[in-house]
Amino acid sequence: QATPGPRHLLSIGDLTPNEFTTLVRNAAARKQVVKEGQPPVWLTTGLSNKTVAMMFSKRSTRTRVSTEAAVTLLGGHPMFLGRDDIQLGVSLLNPVNESLYDTSVVISSMTSCMVARVGPHSDVANLAEHSTVPVINALSDDFHPLQIIADFLTIHETFPSSSGPGLGLNGLKVAWIGDSNNVLFDLATACVKMGVDISVASPKGYGIPDPMRHVITSAANGVDSPGKLSETTVPEEAIRDADILVTDTWISMGQEDEKRKRLDAFAGYQITNELAKRGGAKEGWKFMHCLPRHPEEVADEVFYSPRSLVFPEAENRLWAAVAALEGFVVNKGNI
Ligand code: CP
Ligand code: NVA
């Protein structure tokens, strides 16, 4: 009988609500114990003698630094492989064009995990299909699971759970104002699973594509009181009664050629204090952004204000990476 393959983390959809909750709670617990200066030996040796390959075909600050730092904390060796470092790829700079299949088989034969940042989601899915070790998606055109574990850690810290299942966040409302992109798709999936309502405002033509809406709403299957997804083209409508306003760049990596068109299409979507007031956000509303930030999607008055959670949110990427590596590599997917 063939042994089952390793478990991968390609999107938040791969996690049950309980598993997602455990990863967020573990991230919080590891953060506390490391900050107190007494990390237990089982934590700091979890990856000892193990190498984690980090295959990044796009730029990164947070994902790279948090993953390298997390592997180091767990006692392992992070091996960063940029797009021009290995034979994988089809770019003009890299005419060797080794296939994803060959790359996956070879790298997984020598390492304990592949963390991959790619363009098309099928690239990371293909790596996973042929890998003998866990693959963790470090951002694809469709999903960004590590970001969303960090985001829910940030929400959990800011809105401490009262009671109830999961993280006790039922009834909270998130408003996403901007492009319907990879970060939104996993955020919305997590919101549905965690009982957090999410309202999305994107300009016409930049809303959630039908197949992705199906992925997000299917996250409600088997959940007692799932969060509700609503969509509009009017930012004020999405903002009404929101606890958290969230956005991301209007021009994701790979969309640089569309910059002019996108800046025009998103005019009026910048998050400002005035927009939040006009829309009727809750009095104590908070602001989140995965970063990197560009000035057009959020005004400085919000981004650098006490409402802004962006820097704790960025730091939480480290604790999310620790929890994910522990869950998928050290504990082999038994979360
Ligand atoms: N939020 C995020 O993934 O940032 P980087 O692109 O800098 O990794
Ligand atoms: N949506 C952005 C997120 C970057 C972390 C992008 O894909 O470029």
pLDDT tens for each residue of 278-305: 999 999 999 999 999 999 999 999 999 9
**Which pair of structure tokens corresponds to residue 136?**
């963790």
- Please, where are the H alpha helices in 176-306? 182-194, 210-218, 235-239, 259-265, 273-279, 300-303
The bound ligand whose nearest atom lies closest to the alpha carbon of 146 is 1
- pLDDT value of residue 305: 98
- Per-residue pLDDT band for 89 (boundaries 50, 70, 90) equals low
* Residues contacting ligand 2 via CB (< 6 Å): 139, 181-183, 248-249, 252-253, 290
The residue written with tokens 């470092």 in the block is 85
Query: Could you count the other beta carbons within 10 Å of the beta carbon of residue 103?
Result: 23
> What pLDDT is recorded for position 4?
78
Indicate the pLDDT class of residue 83, thresholds 50, 70 and 90: confident
Q: How confident is the model at residue 163 (pLDDT cuts 50, 70, 90)?
A: low
pLDDT of 326 strictly over 90:
yes
> For residue range 192-229, what is the model confidence (pLDDT) as tens digits?
999 999 999 999 999 999 999 999 999 999 999 999 99
Taking only the tens place, the pLDDT of each residue in 32-62 is 999 999 899 999 999 999 999 999 999 999 9
Q: Indicate if the pLDDT at residue 266 is higher than 90.
A: yes
Domain spans, the chain: 12-143+317-330, 147-314
Distances (CA, A) of 107 to 10, 100, 133, 324: 18, 10, 9, 20
Mean of the per-residue pLDDT values of the chain: 95
* Ligand 1 centroid to residue 225 C-alpha, Å: 31
- Cis peptide leading into residue 145 (ω within 30°): no
In this structure, of 5-9, 119-123, 165-169, 232-236, the range with the lowest mean pLDDT score is 165-169
For residue 223, how many other CB atoms are within 10 A of its CB? 16
Q: What top-level class would CATH report for the domain 12-143+317-330?
A: alpha beta
Q: Looking at residue 151, what is its pLDDT?
A: 98
Q: How many CA atoms lie within 13 A of 102 on its CB side?
A: 8
What is the value of pTM for the model shown?
0.97
Q: What is the mean pLDDT of residues 314-322?
A: 98
Residues contacting 257, CB < 8 A, separation 6+: none
DSSP assignment letter at 308: B
> Which among 55, 56, 61, 297 is the best mutation to test ligand 1's pocket, defined by most ligand atoms within 8 Å of the CB?
61
Same fold, 12-143+317-330 and 147-314: yes
Active site residue 191: no
Is the predicted pLDDT of residue 91 greater than 60, yes or no?
no
The CATH architecture of the domain made up of 147-314 is: 3-Layer(aba) Sandwich (3.40)
* Position with higher pLDDT, 90 vs 231: 231
What number is the average pLDDT over the span 113-123?
96
* 253 alpha carbon – ligand 2 mean position (Å): 6
Q: Give the pairing type, strands 113-117 and 135-137.
A: parallel
- For a mutational test of ligand 1's pocket, the pick from 187, 290, 315, i.e. the residue with the most ligand atoms closer than 8 A to its C-beta, is 290
pLDDT at 73 over 80: yes
Q: How far apart are CA 317 and CA 150, in angstroms?
A: 5
Residue 161 has pLDDT above 80, yes or no: no
Distance of CA 271 to the CA centre of its chain: 21
d(CA 158, CA 204): 32
